[in-house]
Amino acid sequence: MAQATNTIDPAEVAKFEAMAAEWWDPTGKFKPLHLMNPVRLDYITQQIAAQFGRDLKAPQPFKGLRLLDIGCGGGLLSEPMARLGAEVVGADAAPRNIPVAQLHAEQSGLEIDYRNCAAEDIAATDERFDVVLAMEIIEHVADTQGFTDTCAELLKPGGLMVMSTLNRNPKSFMAAIVGAEWVMRWLPKGTHEWSKFITPDELYALIRNAGLDAVDRKGMVFNPLTFGWKLCERDLSVNYAVAAVKR
């Protein structure tokens, strides 16, 4: 059972806990996520709207949907989802991330249920969700299949999982390790381990084994000239996202 699987890698948790105070600093160590966040939100909202027949132009289009943000960090995704009307639970294994997220949500006038726990802890209860987000986290866990199984278990039948990660190839090494960590110094060296990056075929296999059907995938491509991100149908060479539905 998924709840019996410990997918947490303590060394990975420690990396992000050490940066907890900087979650909401757009020029700090999470600058890459702040730059990427609009594109991540575009993809997530498009997939939720398509799966549940919601009009994104309506006020609070996700009202009535229960959403779990796994590895929520400081709440960069949880807060926009709450503003769109979803009932949001944010879970993170790093204890220092939760007070940062709670304080920022309170200052923003948002009600978000933040918890310092693993996804398995929630899966062990009877809580289930319409949407599970697992963005930029699977490359940091100890057991990728166990983690994907847990995400699937947390979904209601017909529920939607959106997951993003990094492809494993020479281009992603140059972009995410050499470029982001060594040259631009956006992230501390060692934040990512290239060997833990996951190819789209590998992720699709994990998803199928967990009892989910992949319904969409897109690349998230960075343009160094405009310093902006865009969604791309064909280019999955570095960052990419996948949407899957529980059978």
Residue-wise pLDDT tens for the chain (247 aa)?
334 457 888 887 777 777 767 899 998 878 888 999 999 999 999 999 999 999 999 999 999 999 999 999 999 999 999 999 999 999 999 999 999 999 999 999 999 999 999 999 999 999 999 999 999 999 999 999 999 999 999 999 999 999 999 999 998 888 778 876 776 666 777 777 888 999 999 999 999 999 999 999 999 998 888 888 999 999 999 999 999 999 8
The CATH number covering residue 218 comes to 3.40.50.150
The domain in which residue 146 lies consists of: 2-246
- Please report, in range form, the residues annotated as the binding site: 40, 71, 92, 135
pTM: 0.89
- Please report, in range form, the residues annotated as the binding site for S-adenosyl-L-methionine: 40, 71, 92, 135
Name the β-bridge partners of 231.
Answer: 220
Name the β-bridge partners of 113.
Answer: 89
Q: Long-range CB contacts (< 8 A, 24+ apart) of 112-117? A: 112/75, 112/78, 112/79, 112/82, 112/88, 113/87, 113/88, 113/89, 114/72, 114/75, 114/78, 114/89, 114/90, 115/89, 115/90, 115/91, 116/91, 116/92, 117/91, 117/93
What is the number of structural domains in the chain?
1
